[in-house]
């Protein structure tokens, strides 16, 4: 299973370029799509799941053009939309049953077994008879992922899946996806929450302003910012100056003021020690420095 | 390709969702509840409100589907607009959009899902219909109808509404606007489009007749098929268009192309079907135009048909005839023009051995008779085919033609004739045998002999006029005893009941399955003939002439049969010589609901503490059944009279009256058959009772007076469409005969007339013969009288003085002397007819009225006398009565007086002048009657100095709606007071309770803000003190009636020399008529009184007249 995205552009009516000549290659495993709000993540995902026809370019799945083989490609897609909150009046299990039927499981017995299995997996078995719109936010997300996974999809696309989830839910959610990535499945996860990617993804891309700014593994991404992340202690007065000068990532109050972590190309006169960057640092560094210079 | 599995999946979950939606549950619940109630009370007749339509075959499933259809169209709009709206709002939908299914699967699945839910609803409703029909147990369940109606009514509408709302939604993408548009469209089709434009826009089926007869089915099968299938296909096209417009990327490469191609095919097919129907109707319209044009060009014909010999073969859907006509040439030889229904194709015309050339133009056959030499000759015409119904009643206008044949409330078709494999019904109007097409031939009914031989398939009964012999070879031979002026033919599977009364054979032919009436008459096998004889004798005593035929048949005929009332006759095609074509199962009218009728009779006798045996009850049921239908028909209308049809009081489509005159007498006139109409109406009036019009409104006669105000009858015939003059002919006709009657001083006119009618039966009486007879009968120069009747426009005008009643002693008896002073202020002599009822009303209550209506009372307690009042004459008319007068009714015929039939008020009886000189009859008087005294000034609403101000109408939607309704229902003529929905503008009303010199009228409107008012202005000549009065008629009624005497407040403003006085008066039944407003000082010049339209206690204000009386 392999997805190639070639020269993909999406221009909306008002000349807004949501995607600008995107080229990507996605292999089985978990693929993280990182970027700020409005970067074009959702647009890219909607193109991938055949909801949107791109203005230009093509997506190839195993070498087959997406625009010409929607029927086939849809048959191995699973998709969790971003705003997965409103349900028609169906019970939890019925909702999954509906999805399973459309996913092509014709045999009723098999289908119901799979539905129960999935409900078990996402921990919704106890509420299987509750109406889906009566579920809590986290449960709805889990139901969402369950319906995306129904029918053994080969490509799973999840759009901002962890927004609004509490940490426990989020961890559970990541685990479900991780389990899945053991199989030969492409999981595309779009997020603006860096932690989601660092903990699960083997590949990632960074999207900003409709363009791909980085592709590779998260480690490679983090490496870019090595030597540009610092830690220091500042007084209350200095805090203002430093936060004006550099993007401050964390600031922990201590006895004399704050202990701050920040990113910078050069530390001009601050007594600061470079620390090992993590994905979050890398993301901020990238957004603040690399993205701008690249654009310029 | 469509994946059935996907469609099933989508539909399964769609129906699940819908069934769970509260919107659907509530709407469906309300609909279900309504139909449950309907079926329970109206169909199963539990309780008091049974619907008589339940007795008509297939009416129960029809009504259920008809009502459900509107409800489900509205629900479908909401549900379907909701479908895409929901899809748009929910991202969850996208999770399903990425599944591998085609857009077709999805939309079809959704549609089927919704349809499944409605299927459930339909099944439940139909089940209700079946269940309660079984419970009601009066008519058998028509199983096929329960299958056909949902497919015919529900399915196409549902698919169309769903498709259209889906499609509109995909175009507009706004749920609210889609709702508004779709509901607007439904409202438009219900309230405006209706059955306009050939009915092809009636997607709701609300105005399409779906009545299914047990004899002949729908009758308009192909129309129904074209329209309903057309609409169904268009619905499918809209659904496909939704697939096309669905905001989801399609799955297959060529799906759009396939979709558009199939859409265009179905679209063309759908539109094609609708156009086919429209085109056929249009063709018929053209045919009617052609027939009318041809008819206009017809000249008097020198030919007369003396006798017919007709051999008719009925097979499947056509008839084949060989008609031999014995013709006589009475005048100079000319081409022979015959008329025959254009649906019948003439193959050959011959005379003796000569084959004759002929030409067919519309309904006319123009025969070249050059080969015929003799004055009397036979013509053999061979023709075959069907009857084209649309060639019948050609003079009936579009409006009347399109008006609905409503059987409260569902719709029957309007078929005028039938030729089906198992059923044939042909009346004279079908023109199934040729007649001579001379000028105005369709209004002429000359008597001609006919021998008819009919062959049809085995098992069918053939019914026609005359004595019948069924020969061994299956030919039915009919030989009528007399020459007749109309022949009809009915063939069908009938059960036949027969009895002989007074040597007249009474037949009842009914559908084999329609014997529901039998249980109501189980005890009458030996008495029925006596009852019939009693009713017949009563009727003939009242009418004055005897039944002229040897037999009388009531023949059940298809519910979809329709006939029009024409202007030249009170007979419709539903009555033919010797027979009445009675509607199937009684036609769903209140008077033919036997079980309710029986219950009412039983209830009444219980109320009166009478103990009636089953037999007595059955006797009453039979009497009122016969009375209501054939003798004295009662027409119950909800709301207004039927569109486009003439209104005749005391008339009914199935009354036997035409058999006593129209089908047995004929006068040969040159132009319009005015004398025949006159006689017919004069006779018919003998049967009628004038209806009281307490609420105002004009009788047909009053409307005629308004119409004749400026024109003579001859002018009207010249200037206006004669087809609109039916009531004018009737009123004028009845007046002519009444005039003749009062001219005969011996009072023998009526008996002489009856004798003349009996003697001239089945003869074509020439005008000169008739004229001579009339001279004798009326002891006057008839042609002179006839001339002025036709050409004069002047009419009499009567004023009545105050009526006193004295108690007098005549010998040893106490009697009552009543004196009615009357003046004729008109330009011509006029006649008055008084009907005086004495003493207390007998019987009282419902029973009494019931009895008198159906001739159960031996004689009427009324006393009827007519008088001529010459122009300028003033007389007192004296009556000697045995009892106090209860009601004095006077009829003024065609005079200025409106209403032309009014009740006169009498003063309290004078008991202390027992010696007064009393007299009977007319006595000249010297005191000329005046409308007003010299010292008073009366301004009536009819006067020019009475003006109206209408303002602020239509302030609310309710007002606007009310005013729109008024526009629809009324022209600007005088209406009657509508308590339940008074108009928002001042409207004229007329009636005997109002004030007026000759025309008793007023204005009224619903209460308003005070911005609207009526003003009466008088020019005062003598300065001084005046008493001011306003006339307020004692008319009460309406929604907020509290007790018997509701008080109403009227607000008058009097403008006088010392200022302006506002006067609030309380109007009660005691304080009404001339209401005193006060004494005021006026100097010479203009004085004014206004009546405001405000009121707190009355829903409507009546403005009539004001008078100033000099002190």
Quick check: helix, strand or coil at residue B340?
coil
- Does residue B949 share a domain with residue B916? no
**B752, B768, B791 - which closes a domain:** B791
- A212-226, A261-275, B278-292, B819-833: which range is least confident on average? A261-275
What is the Cα–Cα distance from B624 to A89, expressed in whole angstroms?
A: 59
Q: How many CB pairs under 8 A join A and B?
A: 87
What's the number of domains chain B is made of? 4
Check CB contact of B86 with chain A, cutoff 8 Å.
yes
- Regarding an ipTM greater than 0.90, the answer is no
* B251: nearest CB among A70, A80, A86: A70
When pLDDT is averaged across residues B361-383 and rounded to a whole number, the result is 85
In a domain, residue B194? The reply is yes
Tell me the pLDDT of chain B averaged across its residues: 83
- Does residue B878 share a domain with residue B973? no
What is the largest distance, in Å, between two alpha-carbon atoms of chain A? 71
* B98: nearest CB among A77, A86, A106: A77
Q: Which residue has the higher pLDDT, A87 or B619?
A: B619
Q: B697: domain CATH number?
A: 1.10.390
B100, B252, B253, best to mutate vs chain A, most A CBs in 10 Å? B100
For residue range A78-92, list pLDDT tens digits in order: 888 887 776 678 888
For residue range A227-249, list pLDDT tens digits in order: 888 888 888 888 888 888 888 88
Instruction: Give Cβ neighbours of residue B180 (< 8 Å, ≥ 6 apart).
Output: none
Above 50 in pLDDT, residue B1039? no
- Does residue B902 share a domain with residue B827? yes
Count the neighbouring beta carbons within 10 Å of the beta carbon of residue B1064. Answer: 12
Q: What is the pLDDT of residue B634?
A: 64
* B95: nearest CB among A70, A106, A147: A147
Q: What is the pLDDT of residue B581?
A: 93
In a domain, residue B319? The reply is no
In a domain, residue B575? The reply is no
- Does residue B832 share a domain with residue B689? no
Q: What percent of chain A has pLDDT over 70?
A: 97
Which residues in chain B are contacts of A42 at CB distance < 8 A?
A: none
DSSP sequence for B659-716:
HHTTTT-EEE-SSS-HHHHHHHHHHHHHH--PPP-TTB---HHHHHHHHTSS--HHHH
- Does residue B825 share a domain with residue B742? no
When pLDDT is averaged across residues B410-436 and rounded to a whole number, the result is 91
Query: What Rg value do the Cα atoms of chain A yield, rounded?
Result: 22
Quick check: helix, strand or coil at residue B317?
coil
Instruction: Give Cβ neighbours of residue B1103 (< 8 Å, ≥ 6 apart).
Output: B941, B986, B1002, B1003, B1004, B1014, B1091
Query: Quick one: pLDDT band at residue B489, thresholds 50, 70, 90?
Result: very high
Which residues in chain A are contacts of B89 at CB distance < 8 A?
A: 86
Domain ranges of chain A: 3-219, 223-295
A77, A98, A102, best to mutate vs chain B, most B CBs in 10 Å? A102
Q: What is the pLDDT of residue B179?
A: 86
What is the Cα–Cα distance from B129 to B40, expressed in whole angstroms?
A: 9
- Does residue B878 share a domain with residue B749? no
What is the Cα–Cα distance from B635 to B591, expressed in whole angstroms?
A: 9
Q: What is the pLDDT of residue B558?
A: 92
Cα A39–Cα A42–Cα A43 angle in degrees, nearest 5: 85
Domain limits for position B1084: 936-1110
In a domain, residue B123? The reply is yes
Q: How far apart are the CA of A143 and the nearest CA of chain B, in angstroms?
A: 11
What is the distance of C-alpha B427 from the center of its chain? Answer: 21
- A60-69, B716-725, B946-955: which range is least confident on average? B946-955
CA dihedral B32, B38, B40, B46 (to 10 degrees): 160
Tell me the pLDDT of chain A averaged across its residues: 83
* B17: nearest CB among A74, A75, A89: A89
Above 70 in pLDDT, residue B956? no
CA dihedral B465, B468, B470, B474 (to 10 degrees): -20
- CB contact at 8 A, B925 and B875: yes
Which residues in chain B are contacts of A101 at CB distance < 8 A?
A: 5-6, 9
Q: What is the pLDDT of residue B696?
A: 57
* A49: nearest CB among B16, B98, B251: B98
Above 70 in pLDDT, residue B965? no
Nearest CA in chain B to A147: B95
Assigned fold of A3-219? Rossmann fold (3.40.50)
CA of A293: how far to CAs of A129, A168, B218, B311, in Å? Answer: 54, 38, 83, 108
Nearest CA in chain A to B252: A71
Which residues in chain A are contacts of B25 at CB distance < 8 A?
A: none
Task: Note the pTM of the prediction, 2 decimals.
Answer: 0.80
- Does residue B787 share a domain with residue B870? no
Which residues in chain B are contacts of A118 at CB distance < 8 A?
A: none
Give me A264's structure tokens: 């910078």
**B894, B924, B954 - which closes a domain:** B924
Above 50 in pLDDT, residue A294? no
- Does residue B1001 share a domain with residue B899? no
CA of B952: how far to CAs of A45, A106, B1091, B1095, in Å? Answer: 62, 69, 16, 16
Taking the CA atoms of B656, B657, B661 and B663 in sequence, report the sign of the dihedral they define.
Answer: negative
Check CB contact of A49 with chain B, cutoff 8 Å.
yes
**B239, B256, B279 - which closes a domain:** B279
- CB contact at 8 A, B383 and B323: yes
DSSP sequence for B975-1039:
BB--TTS--SS-EEEE-TTS--SSB-EEEEEE--SSS-EEEEEEEE-S-EEEEEEEEE-----ST
Best CA proximity match to B553, nearest among B462, B474, B458, B432: B462
When pLDDT is averaged across residues B22-43 and rounded to a whole number, the result is 86
CA dihedral B841, B845, B847, B849 (to 10 degrees): 60
Above 60 in pLDDT, residue B740? yes
Give me B579's structure tokens: 């027979």
Inter-chain CB proximity A70 and B95 less than 8 Å: no
Look up residue B293 and give its DSSP letter: H
Q: Is B322 left (phi over 0), alpha (psi -120 to 50) or beta?
A: beta
Q: What percent of chain B has pLDDT over 70?
A: 91
Which residues in chain B are contacts of A79 at CB distance < 8 A?
A: 94-95, 98
- Does residue B141 share a domain with residue B251? yes
Q: What is the pLDDT of residue B323?
A: 92
Give me B183's structure tokens: 């509901």
Q: How far apart are the CA of A108 and the nearest CA of chain B, in angstroms?
A: 11
What is the largest distance, in Å, between two alpha-carbon atoms of chain B? 114
What is the Cα–Cα distance from B922 to B930, expressed in whole angstroms?
A: 19
When pLDDT is averaged across residues B1012-1020 and rounded to a whole number, the result is 89
What is the Cα–Cα distance from B366 to B436, expressed in whole angstroms?
A: 10
- Does residue B108 share a domain with residue B80? yes
The H-or-E segment that residue B240 falls in is: helix B221-245
Inter-chain CB proximity A94 and B16 less than 8 Å: yes
């Amino acid at each position: 299973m392999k997805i190639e995205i070639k020269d993909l552009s999406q221009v909306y009516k008002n000349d807004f370029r949501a995607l600008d000549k995107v080229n990507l290659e996605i292999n089985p495993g978990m693929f993280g799509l990182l970027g700020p709000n409005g970067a074009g993540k959702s647009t890219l995902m909607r193109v991938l799941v055949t909801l949107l026809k791109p203005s230009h370019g093509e997506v190839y799945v195993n070498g087959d053009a997406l625009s010409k083989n929607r029927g086939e490609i849809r048959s191995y897609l699973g998709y969790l939309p971003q705003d997965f909150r409103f349900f028609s009046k169906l019970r939890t299990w019925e909702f999954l049953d509906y999805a399973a039927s459309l996913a092509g499981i014709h045999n009723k017995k098999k289908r119901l077994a799979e539905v129960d299995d999935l409900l078990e997996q996402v921990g919704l078995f106890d509420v299987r008879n509750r109406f889906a719109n009566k579920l809590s936010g986290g449960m709805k997300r889990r139901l969402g992922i369950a319906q995306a996974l129904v029918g053994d999809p080969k490509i799973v696309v999840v759009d901002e899946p962890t927004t609004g989830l509490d940490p426990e839910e989020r961890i559970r959610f990541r685990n479900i996806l991780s389990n899945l990535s053991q199989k030969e499945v492409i999981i595309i996860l779009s997020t603006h929450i860096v932690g989601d990617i660092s903990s699960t993804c083997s590949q990632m891309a960074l999207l900003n302003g409709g363009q791909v700014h980085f592709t590779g593994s998260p480690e490679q991404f983090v490496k870019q910012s090595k030597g540009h992340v610092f830690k220091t202690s500042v007084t209350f007065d200095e805090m203002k100056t430093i936060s004006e000068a550099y993007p401050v990532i964390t600031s922990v109050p201590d006895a004399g003021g704050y202990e701050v972590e920040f990113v910078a190309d050069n530390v001009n006169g601050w007594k600061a020690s470079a620390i090992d960057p993590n994905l979050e640092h890398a993301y901020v560094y990238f957004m603040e420095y690399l993205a701008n210079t690249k654009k310029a | 390709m469509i994946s059935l599995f996907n469609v099933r999946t989508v539909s399964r979950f769609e129906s699940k969702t819908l069934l769970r939606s509260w919107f659907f549950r509530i709407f469906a619940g309300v609909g279900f509840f309504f139909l449950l109630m309907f079926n329970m009370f109206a169909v199963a007749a539990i309780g008091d409100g049974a619907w008589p339509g339940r007795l008509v075959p297939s009416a129960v499933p029809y009504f259920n589907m008809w009502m459900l259809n509107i409800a489900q169209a509205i629900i479908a709009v909401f549900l379907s607009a909701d479908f895409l709206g929901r899809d748009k709002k929910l991202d969850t939908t996208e999770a399903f959009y990425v599944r591998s299914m085609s857009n077709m699967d999805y939309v079809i699945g959704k549609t089927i899902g919704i349809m499944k839910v409605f299927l459930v609803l339909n099944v439940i409703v139909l089940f209700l219909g079946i269940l309660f029909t079984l419970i009601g147990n009066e008519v058998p369940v028509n199983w096929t109808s329960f299958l056909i109606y949902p497919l015919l009514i529900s399915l196409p509408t549902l698919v169309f509404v769903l498709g259209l709302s889906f499609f509109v939604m995909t175009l507009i993408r706004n749920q609210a606007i889609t709702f508004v548009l779709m509901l607007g469209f439904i409202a438009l089709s219900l309230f405006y489009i209706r059955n306009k434009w050939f009915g092809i826009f009636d997607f709701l089926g609300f105005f399409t007749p779906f009545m299914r007869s047990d004899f002949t089915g729908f009758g308009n099968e192909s129309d129904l098929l074209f329209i309903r299938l057309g609409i169904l296909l268009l619905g499918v096209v809209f659904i496909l268009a939704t697939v096309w417009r669905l905001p989801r990327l399609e799955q297959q490469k060529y799906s759009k192309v396939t979709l558009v191609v199939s859409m265009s095919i179905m679209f063309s097919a759908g539109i094609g079907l609708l156009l086919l129907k429209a085109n056929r109707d249009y063709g018929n319209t053209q045919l009617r135009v052609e027939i009318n044009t041809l008819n206009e060009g017809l000249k008097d014909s020198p030919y007369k048909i003396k006798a017919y010999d007709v051999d008719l073969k009925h097979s499947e859907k056509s008839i084949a005839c060989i008609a031999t006509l014995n013709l006589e040439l009475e005048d100079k030889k000319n081409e022979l023009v015959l008329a025959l229904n254009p649906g019948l194709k003439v193959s050959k015309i011959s005379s003796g051995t000569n084959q004759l050339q002929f030409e067919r133009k519309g309904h006319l056959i123009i025969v070249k008779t050059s080969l015929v030499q003799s004055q009397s000759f036979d013509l053999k015409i061979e023709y075959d085919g069907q009857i084209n119904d649309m060639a019948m009643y050609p003079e009936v206008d579009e409006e009347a033609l399109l008006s609905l044949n409503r059987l409260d409330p569902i719709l029957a078709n309007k078929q005028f004739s039938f030729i089906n494999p198992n059923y044939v019904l042909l009346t004279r109007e079908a023109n199934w045998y040729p007649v001579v097409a001379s000028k105005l031939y369709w209004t002429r009914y000359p008597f001609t002999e006919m021998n008819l031989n009919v062959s049809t398939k085995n098992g069918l009964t053939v019914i026609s006029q005359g004595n019948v012999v069924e020969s061994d070879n299956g030919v039915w031979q009919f030989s009528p005893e007399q020459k007749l002026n109309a022949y009809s033919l009915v063939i069908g599977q009938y059960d036949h009941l027969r009895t002989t009364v007074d040597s007249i054979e009474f037949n009842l032919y009914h559908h084999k399955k329609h014997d529901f009436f039998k249980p109501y008459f189980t005890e009458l096998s030996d008495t029925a003939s006596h009852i019939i004889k009693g009713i017949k004798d009563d009727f003939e005593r009242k009418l004055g002439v005897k039944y002229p035929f040897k037999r009388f048949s009531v023949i059940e005929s298809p519910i979809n049969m329709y006939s029009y009332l024409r202007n030249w006759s009170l007979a419709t095609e539903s009555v033919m010589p010797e027979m009445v074509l009675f509607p199937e199962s009684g036609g769903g009218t209140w008077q033919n609901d036997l079980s309710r009728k029986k219950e009412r009779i039983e209830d009444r006798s219980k109320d009166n503490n009478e103990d009636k045996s089953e037999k007595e009850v059955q006797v009453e049921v039979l009497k009122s059944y016969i009375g209501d239908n054939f003798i004295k028909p009662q027409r119950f209308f909800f709301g207004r009279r039927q569109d486009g049809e003439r209104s005749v009081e005391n008339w009914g489509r199935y009354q036997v009256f035409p058999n006593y005159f129209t089908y047995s007498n004929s006068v040969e006139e040159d132009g319009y058959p005015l004398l025949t109409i006159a006689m017919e109406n004069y006779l018919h009036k003998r049967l009628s009772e004038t209806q009281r019009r307490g609420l105002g409104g004009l009788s047909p006669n009053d409307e005629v007076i308004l119409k004749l105000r400026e024109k003579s009858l001859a002018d009207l015939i010249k200037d206006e469409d004669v087809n609109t003059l039916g009531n004018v002919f009737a009123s004028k006709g009845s007046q002519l005969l009444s005039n003749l009657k009062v001219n005969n001083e011996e009072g023998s006119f009526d008996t002489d007339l009856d004798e003349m009618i009996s003697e001239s039966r089945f003869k074509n009486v020439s005008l000169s013969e008739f004229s001579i007879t009339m001279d004798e009968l009326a002891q006057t120069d008839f042609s002179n009288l006839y001339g002025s009747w036709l050409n004069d426009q002047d009419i009499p005008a009567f004023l009545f003085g105050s009526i006193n009643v004295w108690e007098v002693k005549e010998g040893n008896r106490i009697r009552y002397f009543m004196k009615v002073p009357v003046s004729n202020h008109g330009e011509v002599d006029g006649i008055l007819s008084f009907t005086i009822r004495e003493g207390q009303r007998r019987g009282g209550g419902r029973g009494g009225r019931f009895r008198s209506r159906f001739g159960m009372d031996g004689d009427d307690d009324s006393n009827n006398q007519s008088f001529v009042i010459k122009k300028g004459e003033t007389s007192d008319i004296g009556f000697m009565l045995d009892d106090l007068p209860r009601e004095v009714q006077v009829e003024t015929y065609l005079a200025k007086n409106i209403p032309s039939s009014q009740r006169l008020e009498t003063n309290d009886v004078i008991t202390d002048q027992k010696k007064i000189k009393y007299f009977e009859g007319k006595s000249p008087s010297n005191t000329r009657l005046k409308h007003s005294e010299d010292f008073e000034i009366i301004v009536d609403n009819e006067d020019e100095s009475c003006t109206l101000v209408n303002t602020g109408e239509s302030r609310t939607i309710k007002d606007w709606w009310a005013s729109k309704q008024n526009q629809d229902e009324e022209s600007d003529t005088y209406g009657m007071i509508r308590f339940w929905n008074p108009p928002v503008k001042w409207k004229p009303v007329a009636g005997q309770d109002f004030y007026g010199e000759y025309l008793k009228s007023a204005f009224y409107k619903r209460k308003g803000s005070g911005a609207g008012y009526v003003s009466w202005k008088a020019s005062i000549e003598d300065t001084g003190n005046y008493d001011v009065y306003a006339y307020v008629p004692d008319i009460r009624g309406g929604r907020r009636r509290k007790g018997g005497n509701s008080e109403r407040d009227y607000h008058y403003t009097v403008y006088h020399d010392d200022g302006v006085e506002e006067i609030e008066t309380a109007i009660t039944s005691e304080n009404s008529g001339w209401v005193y407003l006060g004494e005021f000082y006026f100097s010479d010049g203009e004085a004014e009184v206004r009546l405001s339209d405000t009121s707190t206690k009355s829903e409507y204000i009546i403005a009539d007249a004001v008078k100033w009386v000099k002190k």
